[in-house]
């Protein structure tokens, strides 16, 4: 039977897969930083070459920014079509100091592969490529039709994928989309994510006087943009963790009773959670459990702030400008465009006198919820159970994967979110990691999924 | 008569003085940055050599950090003794980008000398050295006894000068202290500063989790130290510009009616002030005029803040730490040690849940008011008028010169604050400047002051 031969192929090629992944990870394809543009290009070429080496018709599609890689295999007549999505771009590695090994030199410690992009998303994305390879090399074909779409602007919320998908909706038509860019619930507890938050990401620049001033000579006479920035940011969220933007909660779909019960039943120790993070107490919106806040309530976080003097010792400057990046995680049925309007209005209304604020919108995507009672979802449950030896939990996640909404909009398709990562993978921070055991389990689950989907009804 | 010969000497040596000042300014004696320690040493040596070349017994006094330069001339039997204080250290030049010429390459544009330290305090301090030189080279002696004390820790609030003065109070005994480290009221409107604010300067480090996290996975679950920092800083001052630290205003001596009248009579155009700074409106404590707030009311300014990602594009990190530097300018009769206690308590009480705050106190000094109806003050008025051609205004300044309080404490002496700078000299910011015409007028006023003080009763 095919699956046994495939499992044997996966076992005998396990080391090759790891080495290939390491080679891909060594390419510092940081999409946010223009000096890495040649690297994003190289990463796209690596993936195209890998797909071509399996015998697929693979090609690079240029965009206005970072290229897309596309490949397809449409030989399974009468069978469903599966679209595999992934991204080869990574978050900036900064700050560099806390990394125990260089971010772009993949290093194995305790069975984990440490590097930027190890789990997000190079490692997870690669599991599907290797599953397809196993089918092709073992049986000469695939049990379903497969379309593979790997982009390079996920981490910067680029618009070029959407343009491409919108213009090629017919060619990309499919029955299911599959993405691995999420986490398991915990080690040994695989999960399928049926809900994701949306995102509305902003940046503000606050300007006071036309030059830096002496805080003795001018203090008290003119507004200080750093004080003003603090006031604006502090005004986003109340001491009870509630977001203070007027109208922000209007569209929020309340958690239903069955969902709150399901959250309460998930295995979770707040004590272990606190110990792992080294915090004395958790903090968030009053009236909701930690898991509810993480997975199903909107949030607001400042990602960076800057202004004035940060060197050693005192400097009595009254700086002329300051800035910050911050975002809101959204839940159904919040509209990111509407949230942007509300936030703009809130900041206009809450800008202290004497400063001006420039408002920049970086990216926006709505939250998604997928139907857990569908043939594709049931097939995914079987595939994960076959590889991990345990049935997956169904979870809602705080992360945002805008492409899920994009595929729904343009291709009218639901996405199966099969997360192979772990919550402590540090995916946007230093020492990002990915368990090699989960890497291989992910490949096997993906290979089985193609088989299950060929029979799904 | 001596003064005519001295004026002639000043005129014939004007260019020499400028070149000497430039040489001193080229030494980047940034006291806050340890990699500049060799430069602070070189600056001290330059001043010692300059004083020695006049024929004074000059020496370098090592301290635990930056050295002090001391020289004296005690040959005027029966005459008053004047202590001249200045500092050779400078503020960090950062940010470098806005400088039109390199901060340590003095450059003349439109009659102004542009460089870090041009006005604060190398240029202003140097006026007194050149006045002493003129007397010594012209008459072979000085009309009063002079003690010259130039330190290298003014910009970092160092404690070593205080230790030295306390231990050598007898040797430093004097009738008047003279400092030029303040500004004129406006171009062509010289001023003597009779009031200075005090300073209490703090730094806080806010810590959340033990590592940077993904804002999707962890947002809403744990406190964000950047949001917390914003909340703490915003809590220092209300929207009406009033400082919210409990008890902060308790010791503040209210402005008297005659002072408010004097402030109202000072020539000041708020429209020009706003135009110069490029702000649409001024901002500060409600109920006080701009000049009152600048000169005579306590203030609070954030000098720097940092945390998270400040690079290009979006990064959805939930950072683990953030920090800020901020200070309060104090007025009579606030005690900086008491203010520190109140601020510590305020921050402890206003730290949001889920973060810890490390509190660092950088420097503290009380405000000072000197007696305008004293022989020394009257002598200074005459000297300034003789050189500038117009009587000086009496002003209270927002800047803090901790040494004024220090000299009062240990030597029981009042300080004559003869400011040669201008308010737009940008003394702690980029493109710091000093008017060369004021440099020369300052030297002449100082030379005349020595004469006036010899006859002051």
Residue with tokens 């921070």: A429
Do B429 and A213 make contact, defined as CB atoms within 8 angstroms?
yes
B206 shares a domain with B185: no
| Residue B185 domain flag | yes
Do B323 and A301 make contact, defined as CB atoms within 8 angstroms?
no
pLDDT, tens digit, 9 for 90 and up, residues A315-330: 999 999 999 999 999 9
The nearest CA of chain A is from the CA of B320 a distance in Å of 10
A375 shares a domain with A324: no
pLDDT, tens digit, 9 for 90 and up, residues A223-254: 999 999 999 999 999 999 999 999 999 999 99
B437 shares a domain with B343: no
Of B33, B306, B325, the CB nearest to A306: B306
Of A201, A230, A299, the CB nearest to B314: A201
pLDDT, tens digit, 9 for 90 and up, residues B387-402: 999 999 988 888 878 8
A351 shares a domain with A204: yes
| Residue A285 domain flag | no
Strand partners, B107: B114
The whole-number average pLDDT for the span B247-266 is: 92
B182 Cβ under 8 Å from any chain A Cβ = no
B89 annotated active-site: yes
Do A224 and B429 make contact, defined as CB atoms within 8 angstroms?
no
**Mean residue pLDDT across chain B:** 95
- Find the Cα–Cα–Cα–Cα dihedral B119, B124, B129, B134, rounded to 10°: 110
Q: Which of residues 146-165 of A touch B (CB under 8 A)?
A: 155-157
A287 Cβ under 8 Å from any chain B Cβ = no
Q: Which of residues 308-347 of B touch A (CB under 8 A)?
A: 308-319, 322-325, 327, 329
| Residue A24 domain flag | yes
List of chain B residues whose C-beta atoms are within 8 Å of the C-beta of residue A157: 314
pLDDT, tens digit, 9 for 90 and up, residues B289-324: 999 999 999 999 999 999 999 999 899 999 999 999
Range of the domain at A308: 198-252+298-365
| Residue B268 domain flag | no
Q: Is the pLDDT of residue A262 over 90?
A: no
A28 shares a domain with A130: yes
A40 shares a domain with A166: yes
Interface with B, mutate which of A124, A209, A223, A283 (most B CBs under 10 A): A283
How many Cβ contacts (< 8 angstroms) between chains A and B? 385
Q: Is the pLDDT of residue B163 over 80?
A: yes
A65 Cβ under 8 Å from any chain B Cβ = no
Structural domain ending residue among the three candidates A365, A382, A397? A365
Q: Where are the beta strands (DSSP E) in A51-190?
A: 57-61, 68-73, 81-87, 107-109, 112-114, 145-151, 176-179
| Residue A380 domain flag | yes
**Mean residue pLDDT across chain A:** 95
Q: Which two tokens stand for residue B317?
A: 């990190």
Do A316 and B294 make contact, defined as CB atoms within 8 angstroms?
no
DSSP letter at B219 equals T
pLDDT at A225: 98
Which listed residue (B39, B89, B175, B414) is catalytic? B89
pLDDT at A258: 84
Categorize the per-residue pLDDT at B158 as very low, low, confident or very high, splitting at 50, 70 and 90.
confident
DSSP letter at B93 equals -
Interface with B, mutate which of A159, A195, A268, A305 (most B CBs under 10 A): A305
The span from the CA of A27 to the CA of A105, in Å, is: 9
Interface with A, mutate which of B283, B424, B433, B434 (most A CBs under 10 A): B283
DSSP letter at B10 equals H
Helix, strand or coil, per DSSP, at residue B83: strand
B408 shares a domain with B357: no
The span from the CA of A399 to the CA of A392, in Å, is: 19
Least confident of A2-6, A105-109, A200-204: A2-6
Which of B127-158 are b and which e, b meaning 16 or more Cβ less than 10 Å from the residue's Cβ? Answer: bbbbbbbbbbebeeebbbbbbbbbbbbbbbbb
Do A311 and B428 make contact, defined as CB atoms within 8 angstroms?
no
Do B239 and A293 make contact, defined as CB atoms within 8 angstroms?
no
The nearest CA of chain B is from the CA of A176 a distance in Å of 25
Structural domain ending residue among the three candidates A317, A341, A365? A365
List of chain A residues whose C-beta atoms are within 8 Å of the C-beta of residue B278: 209-210
pLDDT, tens digit, 9 for 90 and up, residues B91-126: 999 999 999 999 999 999 999 999 999 999 999 999
A360 Cβ under 8 Å from any chain B Cβ = no
pLDDT at B443: 98
A311 shares a domain with A203: yes
Structural domain ending residue among the three candidates A365, A400, A424? A365
Beta-carbon contacts of residue B430 (< 8 Å; ≥ 6 apart): A211, A212, B93, B95, B96, B97, B98, B99, B103
pLDDT at B1: 62
A250 annotated active-site: no
Number of domain units in chain A: 2
List of chain A residues whose C-beta atoms are within 8 Å of the C-beta of residue B417: none
Which listed residue (A7, A18, A50, A89) is catalytic? A89
The whole-number average pLDDT for the span B236-246 is: 96
B447 shares a domain with B384: yes
| Residue A421 domain flag | yes
pLDDT, tens digit, 9 for 90 and up, residues B220-240: 999 999 999 999 999 999 999
Give backbone dihedrals phi and psi of A360, rounded to 5 degrees, phi first: -125, 130
DSSP secondary structure of B309-324:
--SSS---EE-SEEEE
Categorize the per-residue pLDDT at A94 as very low, low, confident or very high, splitting at 50, 70 and 90.
very high
Do B234 and A215 make contact, defined as CB atoms within 8 angstroms?
no
What's the CATH number where A333 sits?
3.30.70.360
Of B306, B398, B430, the CB nearest to A212: B430
Number of residues in chain A: 457
The whole-number average pLDDT for the span A21-26 is: 98
What's the CATH number where B115 sits?
3.40.630.10
| Residue A115 domain flag | yes
List of chain B residues whose C-beta atoms are within 8 Å of the C-beta of residue A224: 301-302
List of chain B residues whose C-beta atoms are within 8 Å of the C-beta of residue A426: 211-214
Q: Is the pLDDT of residue B330 over 90?
A: yes
A94 shares a domain with A237: no
A81 shares a domain with A149: yes
Q: Is the pLDDT of residue A81 over 70?
A: yes
A342 shares a domain with A404: no
| Residue A423 domain flag | yes
Q: Is the pLDDT of residue A1 over 80?
A: no
């Amino acid at each position: 039977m095919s699956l046994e031969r495939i499992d044997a192929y996966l076992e005998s090629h396990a080391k090759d897969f790891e080495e290939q992944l390491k080679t891909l990870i060594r390419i510092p394809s940081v999409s946010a930083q223009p000096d890495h543009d040649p690297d994003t290009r190289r990463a796209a070429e690596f993936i195209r070459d890998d797909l071509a080496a399996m015998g697929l018709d693979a090609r690079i599609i240029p965009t206005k920014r970072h290229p897309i890689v596309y490949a397809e295999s449409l030989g399974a007549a009468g069978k469903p079509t599966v679209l595999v999505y992934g991204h080869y771009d990574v978050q900036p590695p900064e700050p560099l100091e806390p990394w125990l090994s260089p971010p772009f030199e993949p290093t194995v410690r305790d069975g984990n592969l440490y590097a930027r992009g190890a789990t997000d998303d190079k490692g997870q994305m690669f599991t599907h490529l290797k599953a397809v390879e196993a089918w092709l090399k073992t049986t000469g074909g695939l049990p379903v039709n497969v379309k593979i779409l790997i982009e390079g602007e996920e981490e910067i919320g680029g618009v070029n994928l959407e343009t491409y998908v919108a213009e090629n909706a017919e060619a990309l038509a499919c029955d299911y989309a599959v993405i691995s860019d999420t986490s398991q619930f915990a080690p040994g507890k695989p999960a399928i994510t049926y809900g994701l938050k949306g995102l509305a990401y902003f940046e503000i620049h606050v300007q006071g006087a036309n030059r830096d001033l002496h805080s003795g000579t001018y203090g008290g006479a003119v507004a200080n943009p750093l004080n003003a920035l603090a006031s604006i940011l502090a005004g986003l969220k109340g001491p009870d963790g509630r977001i203070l933007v007027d109208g922000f909660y209007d569209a929020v779909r309340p958690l239903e009773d069955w969902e709150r019960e399901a959250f309460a039943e998930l295995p979770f120790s707040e004590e272990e959670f606190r110990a792992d993070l080294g915090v004395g107490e958790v903090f968030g919106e009053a009236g909701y459990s930690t898991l509810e806040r993480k997975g199903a309530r909107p949030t607001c976080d400042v990602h960076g702030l800057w202004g004035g003097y940060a060197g050693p010792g005192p400097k009595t400057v009254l700086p002329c400008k300051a800035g910050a990046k911050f975002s809101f995680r959204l839940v159904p049925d919040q509209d990111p465009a509407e949230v942007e309007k509300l936030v703009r209005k809130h900041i206009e209304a809450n800008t202290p006198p004497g400063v001006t604020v420039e408002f920049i919108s970086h990216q926006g995507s709505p939250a998604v919820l997928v139907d857990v009672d569908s043939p594709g979802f049931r097939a995914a449950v079987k595939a994960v159970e076959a590889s991990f030896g345990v049935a997956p939990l169904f979870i809602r996640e705080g992360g945002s994967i805008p492409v899920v909404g994009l595929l729904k909009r343009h291709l009218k398709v639901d996405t199966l979110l099969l997360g192979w990562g772990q919550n402590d993978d540090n995916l946007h921070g230093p020492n990002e990691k990915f368990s090699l055991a989960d890497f291989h389990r992910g490949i096997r689950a993906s290979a089985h999924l193609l088989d299950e989907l060929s029979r799904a009804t």
